[in-house]
Amino acid sequence: MPDVVYEVRDVVHRYRTPSGEVTAVRNATFDIPGDGLTVLAGPSGSGKSTLLRILGVLERPTSGAVSLRGNDTAGLSERARRSLRRRVHLVFQSPVDNLFSYLNVRDNLRAAAQLAGAPDPDIGLLDRLGLPGTADWAISALSGGQQQRLALLTALAAGAEVVLADEPTSQLDAKSAELVIETLLDLVRLGVTVVVASHDDAVLQVAARVFRLGER
CATH number of 4-212: 3.40.50.300
The one-letter amino acid code at 90 reads: L
Q: What is d(CA 112, CA 121) in angstroms, rounded to the nearest whole number?
A: 9
Q: Tell me the angle at which helices 144-157 and 105-115 cross, rounded to the nearest 10 degrees.
A: 40
Q: How far apart are the first and last CA of the chain?
A: 34
Per-residue pLDDT of the chain (216 residues; tens, 9 = 90+): 568 999 999 999 998 888 888 889 999 999 999 999 999 998 887 899 999 999 999 999 999 999 999 989 988 888 888 888 889 999 998 888 899 999 999 999 999 999 999 999 999 999 999 999 999 999 999 999 999 999 999 999 999 999 999 999 998 999 999 999 999 999 999 999 999 999 999 999 999 999 998 744
Pairing assessment for the beta strands 193-197 and 162-166 based on DSSP bridges = parallel
The residues facing 33 across adjacent strands are: 4
Q: Is-contact 99 150, C-beta < 8 A?
A: yes
Domain ranges of the chain: 4-212
Residue 48 and residue 213 in contact, taking contact as beta carbons nearer than 8 Å? yes
The secondary structure of residue 99, as a DSSP letter, is S
CA angle 158, 161, 165 (to 5 degrees): 85
